[in-house]
Amino acid sequence: MIIGVDIREFEKNKATGIGQYLSNFLSARSVFRAEDKFILYGNQKTTFKPPEKDYVVRIIRERITLWWDQILLPWRLYRDRVDVFLSPYYKAPLLASCPVVVTIHDILFLKFPQRRSIRHLLYTLLSHIYARALISKASAIITDSKHSKRDILNTFKVPAEKVKVVTLGVTKRFHPVREKGEIERVKKKYNIKRRYLLYVGNFKPHKNVPSLIDAYQRLPLSLREDHQLVLAGDAGSGIREVKKRLAKMGLVSDVVVTGLISFEDLPPLYSGAEVFVFPSLYEGFGLPVVEAMACGVPVISSDAASLPEIIGDAGVLYSPDRVENLVEVLTSLLSNPDKRKELAEKGLNRSRLYRPGSQAKKIREIIMEVYQEWKLR
């Protein structure tokens, strides 16, 4: 069997949940048969070193995304005699010579349109139409959680059996870092001078970071003087507003905005935190929450979307529209080391449910299923 995979998410200095999803899948070659072959399709921006020697990488120049998706890629799939094609997001050929398995991590683009301009509303409408056509044409849909599956079923009226839940996995790279020197190295690198609360993610509106900043400002002075707030992640969309807010509130010296964190720095950064806080309003999965649990950090999270499903009883949940609720939870947990230790242990145990090998095996089963069904047509 020849399996084609879209790897355009692998770009230099770009770290995303989709990239992690792909990396986990491609690193688990052992779950496939020796005779199975992989052809990986990227563009001129793709920077990827295959983890296995028998992986073939095809670079197809991309000038217009729609042309790449719907014309150039289908032609290459036909030429390469690909048996099944896997897309790690909701971009894939509507007409292909093989069955297509599409991954829809969430429907954020419909739940939280970026802006309310005519242009962006039109983009949202076209995205909805395209997603509906893609879901109709795909042989199977993979999504990250039961919550995301319900969202997809409710929005697109697709048969339930077509949507498969495959939870994401975190690699063994994410583990509790016990070496104090390694944690101090990371703190020095990112100018963290005190104990700290940690958030990891981007700064788009649905991440609800301003509410976390507000909650931090309302903490008792003794706790704020002892703890900095560290906001780690992609310094792209929304970061300018966050920095303006910090300046206006007089918190520039108390809140550290790190920018993008390298993969090797993430485990010690997580491990050194007193608590990890995730105030998001919507998540299809919430990968940073699992990474934090795997590093032995007590987790405080909003109770929105998929997060209660992923965290279970291994963290403290709060209502994201109530800042005072977060202030109470933070104050209580930061003042109670025994409770933090208990939550850290629960989180560590919970994180073992989310392993890359399990994720890859389930995807392989889906690929095999659609391949067999296609052959019977």
Which residue ranges make up each domain of the chain?
Answer: 2-169+356-375, 180-351
* Backbone angles phi and psi of 188, in degrees to 5: -65, -40
Strand runs (DSSP E) across 69-226, as ranges?
84-87, 100-103, 140-143, 163-165, 195-200
Helix axes 209-217, 323-334, angle to 10 degrees: 60
Question: What is the CATH code of the structural domain delimited by 2-169+356-375?
Answer: 3.40.50.2000
Query: What per-residue confidence (pLDDT) applies to 357?
Result: 87
Question: Per this entry, what is the length of the chain?
Answer: 377
Nearby residues of 322 by Cβ (< 8 Å), 6 or more positions away: none
Q: Taking residues 23-43, report their average pLDDT.
A: 91
* Highest CATH level, class, for 180-351: alpha beta
Q: Six-digit token pair at 39? A: 């052809």
Statement: residue 236 has pLDDT above 90? no
What type of residue sits at position 124? T
Type of residue numbered 342:
E
Q: Same CATH fold, 180-351 and 2-169+356-375?
A: yes
Is 2 or 20 the better-scoring residue by pLDDT?
A: 2
Q: Can you tell me the mean pLDDT for 65-73?
A: 96
- Give the Cα separation of 368 and 366 in Å (integer): 5
Instruction: For 247-265, write each residue's pLDDT tens digit.
Output: 999 999 999 999 889 889 9
pLDDT higher than 70, residue 151: yes
Query: Once rounded to an integer, what is the mean pLDDT over residues 90-102?
Result: 96
For residue 48, what pLDDT is reported? 86
Helix (H) or strand (E) holding 289: helix 287-294
What is the tens place of the pLDDT at every residue in 290-324?
999 999 999 999 999 999 999 999 999 999 999 99
The structure tokens listed for 67 are 């042309």
- 229, 213 in Cβ contact below 8 A? yes
Rg of the chain on CA atoms, in Å: 22
Buried b (16+ CB within 10 A) or exposed e, 147-176: bbbebbbeebebeeebbbebbbbbbeebbe
Burial of 264 (0-12, 13-18, 19+ CB in 10 A): exposed
The alpha carbon dihedral of 70, 73, 76, 77 has a sign of negative
Distance CA(52)–CA(38), nearest Å, equals 10
Mean pLDDT for the stretch of residues 97-101: 97
Residue 103: strand pairing partners: 142
How far is it, in rounded angstroms, from Cα 262 to Cα 233? 10
pLDDT at position 52: 78
Instruction: Tell me which residue of 78, 91, 97 sits closest to 133, measured CA to CA.
Output: 91
Is the pLDDT reported for residue 3 higher than 90? yes
Single-letter amino acid, residue 215: A
Between CA 294 and CA 363 the distance in angstroms is 22
Q: Give the separation between CA 74 and CA 65, rounded to whole angstroms.
A: 13
Q: Per the structure block, which two tokens stand in for 347? A: 């989180």
* DSSP symbols for 173-212: TSS----HHHHHHHHHHTT--SEEEEEES---GGG-HHHH
- Distance in angstroms (rounded) separating the CA atoms of residues 66 and 91: 9
Q: Which two tokens stand for residue 318?
A: 């709060």
Helix (H, G, I), strand (E, B) or coil at 256: strand
Report residue 235's pLDDT band, with 50, 70 and 90 as the boundaries. low
% of the chain exceeding 90 in pLDDT: 78
pTM of this structure? 0.92
Tokens describing residue 353: 């449910």
Q: What is the pLDDT of residues 187-217, one digit of tens each?
A: 999 999 999 999 999 999 999 999 999 999 9
Per-residue pLDDT, 140: 98
How far apart CA 9 and CA 219 sit, in angstroms, is 39
The DSSP code for 11 is B
pLDDT number for residue 114 = 60
**299 contacts 275 by C-beta, under 8 angstroms:** yes
Contact 69, 93 (CB under 8 A): yes
pLDDT at 14 over 80: no
Residue 50's pLDDT band, with cuts at 50, 70 and 90, is confident
Ramachandran bin of 91, using left for φ above 0, alpha for ψ from -120 to 50, beta for the remaining angles: beta
Q: In 10 A of CB 322, how many CB atoms?
A: 13
